[in-house]
Amino acid sequence: MRRLLAAVATLFILLGTTPPAAFADNPELRIETTRGPITVELYPDQAPATVANFLEYVDAGFYTGTVFHRVIENFMIQGGGFDQEMRKKTTRAPIKNEADNGLKNQRGTLAMARTMEPHSATAQFFINHKDNSFLDHKSKDRRGWGYAVFGKVTDGMEVVDEIATTPTGPFLKDGKEVFSKDVPQDAVVIEKITRLDG
């Protein structure tokens, strides 16, 4: 289907007209989790650096075996940075924050997780469980940069809802508290993320 749409879009270009937005070549991926699959569409036109970065991690198999380690109902589910033993994975250099792209942190959108430093995102991402306008870009300073949206769930929001409502708490390792809260008590593992666009 994606090849057919690409061929039709090429025909529009050859005819000297602009193809409709429906033929945009946005990558589609499936996030396979232990709770079920989540299909997402990425937006390279609005977030080119973020999408390229995410796809590099996907193609390298980086996310296989990582977990959703921070889950807050009616907020978001965050993953892609820790394995099941809560060991942080080594990442590439941080990327530019593209939160000023006009996309909003609405229910079902994918956005990059980061520290308080605006341009610190690497591999971790989150899926908004509800509309979170307070995470949107407001100004180009430390407090207003916001969190870059780069895609949206197109199928499997029921899986996101199930993950978001799973019981959470602290994570203990060798009797020591590694995370104080928000960790699913029954691990939610990302088995793999694969492209669906060929």
The model's pLDDT over 36-49, given as tens digits with 9 standing for 90+, comes to: 999 999 999 999 99
pLDDT-derived band at 131, boundaries 50, 70, 90: very high
Q: Is residue 33 scored above 70 in pLDDT?
A: yes
Query: Is the pLDDT reported for residue 58 higher than 60?
Result: yes
Residues 6+ apart with CB under 8 A from 120: 94, 114
Query: Can you read off the two tokens belonging to residue 72?
Result: 């807050």
For 124-160, b/e burial (b = at least 16 CB within 10 A) is bbbbbbeebeebbbeeeeeeebbbbbbbbbeebbebb
Across the range 64-83, mean pLDDT stands at: 98
pLDDT in tens, 152-162: 999 999 999 99
Better-predicted residue by pLDDT, 15 or 190: 190
For 147, the 3-state DSSP assignment is: coil
**Percent of the chain residues past pLDDT 90, beyond the cut:** 82
- Name the residue among 118, 153, 124 with its Cα closest to residue 137: 118
81-109: average pLDDT:
97
Residue 148 structure tokens: 């870059």
In this prediction, residue 24 carries a pLDDT of: 53
- Give the per-residue pLDDT at 193: 98
Say which residue, 198 or 31, is predicted with more confidence. Answer: 31
| Domains of the chain, start order | 26-195 (2.40.100.10)
